[in-house]
Amino acid sequence: MPIKKDGSGKRWVEMELVVPGSPEQVWQAMATGGNSAWFTKTEIDEQVGGKISFDFGPNGASTGEVTHWEPPARFAYVERDWSEGAPPVATEITVTARSGDRCLLRMVHSLFTDSDDWDDQLEGFEGGWPAFFEVLRIYLAHFAGEKAASFFVMASTPEPEAKVWSGLTETLGLAAANIGEERTAPPHPERLSGIVERVQQDAKQRYLLLRLKEPGSGIALIGTYSSGDGANASMALYLYGDDAKARAATSEPKWRDWFEETFR
């Protein structure tokens, strides 16, 4: 959706999606640090004025302050130092129950500025969410409430993005994957086996989602996207169950080394 503006200087982007689960389950995933199960490592002090922090691994970190806390319906926070020289960005999340054990989730990112200098970043917020929202849908449908751990690995290369995608998917046994297929990757650095839940390709990025059976319950978000004159290859791995943290600690160095070696 395009950036919206009003006479006060506010400019914003908004996204809506319907997800499975009760309001309490969706709230847990969005507002209590459950973000680690579908987005990135997150810590939230669950009160107005509390601290919120996002750990994006190789992409840095961001912190903010909780500005509204109304379980399980409305959650808001502001990030004041999300980008050097930028005005604060405010995020509001609302959860509304729908029939059939579903919820309408609405997320709005707002900046208060008369300048259009940050419009690209606002559009980037909107463009970056769809893949993670797909992870959220799968998590809520199959793993809601389970203990979770996640990590993100990435490597940069001067090769064109389309070529990187072809190489990545062929190496992992995911070339020409179709939704609903079961695919199994080679055993090195670690076998990934599961059902293809989503395949997305456009001019800037490509990604697919596997709902994992091996090396245990989880979701793999594997993709490539253009960056400058080259491309980045990445994987976010979400693991579920009582042993999720231990499995993540074992898996992360294997995959980090593999991406660095494969795309150096």
Distance separating alpha carbons of residues 184 and 186, to the nearest angstrom: 7
CATH 3.30.530.20 holds for 4-142: yes
Which has the closest alpha carbon to 254: 235, 240, 241? 235
Sign of CA dihedral 95, 97, 101, 102: negative
Note the pLDDT tens digit of each residue in 210-228: 999 999 999 999 999 998 8
pTM: 0.92
Note the pLDDT tens digit of each residue in 152-172: 999 999 999 999 999 999 999
Q: List, in sequence order, every residue forming a beta bridge with 52; answer none if it has no partner.
A: 44, 64
Distance separating alpha carbons of residues 231 and 164, to the nearest angstrom: 7
Q: How many other C-beta atoms lie within 10 A of the C-beta of residue 252?
A: 17
The model's confidence at residue 61, banded by pLDDT at 50, 70 and 90, is: confident
Residue ranges per domain, the chain?
4-142, 148-262
The model's confidence at residue 1, banded by pLDDT at 50, 70 and 90, is: low
The model's confidence at residue 121, banded by pLDDT at 50, 70 and 90, is: confident
Fold exhibited by the domain 148-262: Alpha-D-Glucose-1,6-Bisphosphate; Chain A, domain 4 (3.30.530)
**What pLDDT was estimated at residue 237?**
97
Distance of CA 42 to the CA centre of its chain: 11
